[in-house]
Structure 1
């Protein structure tokens, strides 16, 4: 039994698919493209599943009757006598690529969980948009139409993109920036429109509204922080602000003996005054 190939993390599959869709080898890409289109056209014109089940039933019935007739006539079934050696073809290929498939499934599962639980909000919104588009497409077109269109697109768009890569990339960057700016304007407009309504709701709710507001973080220019009490902010401001010297000199800054604060001198003055 051959050992399974070491998983490359899907790099070999990606490279093979890239070479296939970009027509790096026109003969191989042409064969695959023609096979897919021919299969889809055959599936469109005939009920392929019905034909497969009919042929399967016919072959199995002939095999069973031939085996039974051979055992009655010669003591050994005709199928057993003339059958080829058993081979494990599909299992061998499955064993070779099992590690690849398992690794791809694990990565896909983790990626799906990240999307569902919004690890990256932008990615989750993109997938939601794609899912909605697919929903609309499947409501307008049949599955066969979508598969046929997807096949034509997959084998035609990559070569066109490689020929016009710079122009397409520049256009994508430009329109992405415009879309982000429009989204930011829309969010700001929503915030301005809903702000007064939320404040009124907070006032009507009273203590409940204040409690909810205390639990909601406030977004600032630098980071998201909560409300800071006035006393704490005043104290922190006083501690952080540098002390400014007074314009008028104090009594302790006068020149002479009195300018020096000496405890013994104070005691001497008090004694002389008492005498």
Structure 2
């Protein structure tokens, strides 16, 4: 029997069961591995393996002694290689899957998209709560069933699901923006008071953070934003920075008397007092 060739397909087509024989084969392998891990079939496999290998070696050796040709080689023939099938179908699929997973993980970890990172944090929190009551093995089973059953369901009701997701995403996004605006409103005066109380330290820290105004670089291209930032930093560097606080005490002024360099100058400029 020739190995099942990998048809040209995408990940959505694979999980959507558009090629049932190909998808079913991988699902059967995954289920077999999970059952083997659950019922500890490894010990039975190795038991069957060493018995079969000893029987094959005995049959081959006895055939060579009796007829000059081993029974295994004579009746089973040359083995069929599946390396080409694995190289052309399994490895490219694993490579594409790894590349996609790596890109998504990097985007999430390095916050390329804030919304995706927040969603990942929410999923991690949910899994943290779920794994406290459900085993990882049960979660793997649930994930396998979900991956191989939800895509066909989604393809059937795609319009309804997309509309519901868009609706509730807007609701959640508006709620998040409202909470952030409320937090800024409440924390803004407290931060300003803290900066005023810390004096020069607060002013220095505040100067390191850009202040968003109506004429700021929001919505501009990165190149123009960097150009304006460089111009403002150079202008700030050319002018001396001065900082003062209302609560700080004024330092005493230095007396405007001329300092004498030597003892001779002191003697020359000091008035001579004659004693009676």
Give TM-score scaled by structure 2 length: 0.60
Taking the aligned partners of 1:103 and 1:155, their CA distance within structure 2 comes to 18
2:190 to 176, 188, 197: 197
Shift of the alpha carbon at 1:102? 3.2
2:199 to 188, 206, 223: 206
Q: Which runs of 5+ in 1 are unaligned?
A: 233-275
2:14 to 8, 13, 17: 17
Instruction: Give yes or no for the alignment of 1:47 onto 2:40.
Output: yes
Shift of the alpha carbon at 1:214? 0.9
1:1-275 alignment runs, 5 A limit: 12-20=9-17, 28=21, 35=28, 39=32, 42-43=35-36, 46-67=39-60, 78-89=71-82, 91-97=83-89, 98-221=91-214, 223-224=217-218
1:142–1:43 distance in 2 versus 1, CA, 3 Å: farther
Taking the aligned partners of 1:80 and 1:33, their CA distance within structure 2 comes to 31
1:116–1:188 distance in 2 versus 1, CA, 3 Å: same
How many residues in Structure 1 have an aligned counterpart in Structure 2? 217
Kept in 1, the 8 Å contact 2:63–2:69? The answer is yes
Give TM-score scaled by structure 1 length: 0.61
Question: Which of the two has greater helix per residue?
Answer: 1
| RMSD of equivalent CA atoms | 4.0
Higher relative contact order (CA 8 A, sep 6+): 1
